[in-house]
Amino acid sequence: MSFTWTAHRFSGGALALDIANSVVLRFDPERRIDRFADPAAMDSFAEAASLYSAERERFGTLAPAPPENRKSLIGLREATDRHFRAQVEAEDRPDLLADLLEAIAAVLRRPAGNSRGTSLDVATAHSALSLIANPEPDRLKICPNCCWLFLDRSRNKSRTWCDMAVCGNRTKARRHYRRNRQGVQP
Ligand SMILES: [Zn+2]
């Protein structure tokens, strides 16, 4: 069965973060899933991003990255994840910023191909550049359930989960299950 990109997969609040989040449970070697391991899912991401990404108005209809650019998009994805994760952890890592800038440059140097619309790799590079140029450290967060990066756009910056309906409820359900199993009253 092929994988479908739902609105939930675009909880990052910026295209570059949604791309980084195409790896689920990144730090759990047993449950980690790289959705871009399947090139077809990488291609269908572009269409779904045109519908669901917080930056859909900025980039319009996105075309899939040309096959020869897939590798540089993955490089950009990994550099994006490392840099912004270090930002959330308040680590001083100028080397990770340098890596990300190089990954952006690698994408922008490649011919974009003759696809209609902006290609996904180029749009992701511009999205990452915007996040670097306009950092929002008090809004950039990591979901404690799925480890996704996201921008908390809530008015009082009080969001904990990438998506309350998915990660918030899953965590609540787990807690409920544990309590009941242990016979502890809520
Ligand atoms: Zn989450």
pLDDT of residue 56: 96
Tell me the C-alpha distance between 102 and 78, whole Å: 12
Lowest mean pLDDT among 17-26, 115-124, 168-177: 168-177
H or E element at residue 96: helix 94-109
pLDDT of residue 3: 83
Which protein residues have a CB closer than 5 Å to ligand 1 (ion)? 143, 145-146, 148, 162, 167
How far is ligand 1, taken at its centre, from the CA of residue 109, in Å?
A: 33
Mean pLDDT of 36-48: 96
CA distance to 49, 68, 112, 119, 163, per residue, from 115 (Å): 16, 13, 8, 7, 32
How far is ligand 1, taken at its centre, from the CA of residue 125, in Å?
A: 23
Which amino acid, one-letter code, is at 98?
A
Q: Which domains are present in the chain?
A: 7-182 (1.10.3300)
Tell me the C-alpha distance between 136 and 170, whole Å: 27
Token duo for residue 33: 């899933």
Mean pLDDT of 83-104: 97
pLDDT of residue 111: 75
Instruction: Render pLDDT for 94-114 as a digit per residue (tens, 0 to 9).
Output: 999 999 999 999 999 987 666
Share of the chain above pLDDT 70, in %: 89
How far is ligand 1, taken at its centre, from the CA of residue 128, in Å?
A: 20
Tell me the C-alpha distance between 91 and 128, whole Å: 18
pLDDT of residue 69: 94
Q: Which of 86, 87, 49, 43 is nearest to 66 (CA)?
A: 43
pLDDT of residue 110: 85
Tell me the C-alpha distance between 182 and 184, whole Å: 5
In whole numbers, what is the pLDDT of the chain averaged over residues?
Answer: 91
